[in-house]
Chains A and B, each alone.
Chain A
């Protein structure tokens, strides 16, 4: 990303601006996906591989698939509960 040379006066044409905005959104989505991927690898390794063998056996692969699904369920639930809480807190502030 290059924010180093804004045009004089700071105004961009709308095509440049749209491009910049969608690039930023994409970068954030990518970072988010990477974070989730990393967490799932770490968590599911921990849950499913108690004794690392020479390959991932069938039951380990099934466990990993299940674990990923449950991690995403947990992520979505957390996201929902957190958003509701923020909403309540901001209502409290008036």
Chain B
């Protein structure tokens, strides 16, 4: 959800502004959980059974952690690449 089209910030009730900021942050986190659940479901869950077995739970948990590691690694390396290109 985007709240970019809010009117001039000076005109917004500060309490409402901080509420909106909090809520959109929460919505962003939730969107990230949807994304991760999608990725990890595809990779970890084969046939849905009567419960998530411990192997699947471990896989999901590792999947989340390694996905975040990957994002961080990509971001760091990308930043270096950009800086390198800037120096040319």
The answer to whether B84 has its CB under 8 Å from any CB of chain A is no
Cβ–Cβ < 8 Å partners of A6 in chain B: 7, 11-13
Interface size class of A (residues with CB under 8 A): 35 or more
Residues of A participating in the B interface, judged by any CB pair closer than 8 Å: 3-4, 6, 9-12, 17, 20-21, 24-25, 27-28, 31-32, 35-36, 39, 43-44, 47, 63, 66-67, 69-71, 73-75, 77-79, 81-82, 85-86
- Chain B residue at smallest Cβ distance from A24: B23
Cβ–Cβ < 8 Å partners of A44 in chain B: 48
- Chain B residue at smallest Cβ distance from A5: B7
Nearest CB of chain A from residue B32's CB, rounded to whole Å? 7
Nearest CB of chain A from residue B44's CB, rounded to whole Å? 8
Interface string of B33-53 (1 = CB under 8 A from A): 110111011001101111110
Cβ–Cβ < 8 Å partners of A4 in chain B: 7
